[in-house]
Chain A
Amino acid sequence: KAGVTQTPRYLIKTRGQQVTLSCSPISGHRSVSWYQQTPGQGLQFLFEYFSETQRNKGNFPGRFSGRQFSNSRSEMNVSTLELGDSALYLCASYLDGGSYEQYFGPGTRLTVT
């Protein structure tokens, strides 16, 4: 079974621009969560989607948004990029329904200059 895929793997953007990251979950998984990983803060929860609905949101500004499509693929968007948004953005997929095992993709490394 193919794992979680994330595209693109690397991105370089300029302050003020916006960016869209994509995540394809493991086949059969209907839930997707997004996390931001930085050296200083570690892994921090961004948001969670189940069946195209945002179920939970972390403590991030409104510039961070996401959505999930009917095929369970998910995108996250960051508008008006700031230098502090440079991070590894990770997507995790899981089955939902009682199992808490979550499987991560390789991440998208975003650099904001």
Chain B
Amino acid sequence: QKEVEQDPGPLSVPEGAIVSLNCTYSNSAFQYFMWYRQYSRKGPELLMYTYSSGNKEDGRFTAQVDKSSKYISLFIRDSQPSDSATYLCAVPGAGSYQLTFGKGTKLSVIP
């Protein structure tokens, strides 16, 4: 079983829709969870960073962690065409800065 699994999509939604992006992880020792956004031919950009379980909100973005089910989610409200990108979940190992990434979900927001 891979340490971090993410549905690669692609996911296509109309402008204004609520988007839900998800990852599962296998190692219960993971404590920190990140979401990166990567536009085509660019480096990943850190979008959200959460610790342990619960929700964290930043503007239209909400990151949610459910440690009991080892499930992490990113919600995008009122999605915009500029949100079209690949979204990657990432976790650092226990006591390590090495990030393990999901494969990424490619999102297209259609005007």
Q: Is the CB of A45 within 8 A of B99?
A: yes
Prevailing SS type, chain B contact patch: strand
Q: Is the CB of B43 within 8 A of A104?
A: yes
B7 to chain A, nearest CB (A): 13
Q: A42-B103, A100-B32 are in contact. Are A94 and B97 (CB under 8 A)?
A: yes
Q: How many B residues, CB 8 Å from partner?
A: 22
Q: In residues 68-111 of chain B, which contact A (Cβ within 8 Å)?
A: 88, 90, 92, 96-104
B1 to chain A, nearest CB (A): 16
Question: What chain A residues lie within 8 Å of B90 (beta carbons)?
Answer: 43
Knowing that A43-B88, A45-B100 touch, tell me 19 more A-B residue pairs with CB under 8 angstroms: A6-B43, A31-B97, A33-B98, A42-B102, A43-B90, A43-B99, A48-B97, A48-B98, A56-B97, A90-B43, A92-B99, A96-B97, A100-B97, A102-B34, A102-B46, A102-B99, A106-B42, A107-B42, A107-B43
Q: Is the CB of A100 within 8 A of B34?
A: yes
Contact mask for chain A residues 75-108; partner B; CB cutoff 8 A; 1 contact, 0 none = 0000000000000001010101000111111110
Give A76 to B44 CA distance when docked, in angstroms: 19
Q: A33-B97, A96-B97 are in contact. Are A104 and B45 (CB under 8 A)?
A: yes
Of the candidates B43, B49, B98, B103, the one whose C-beta lies within 8 Å of that of A58 is B98
Give the one of A56, A96, A101, A102 with max B CB within 10 A: A102
A-B interface, 5 closest residue pairs, ranked by CB to CB distance from nearest: A104-B43, A43-B101, A42-B103, A106-B43, A100-B32
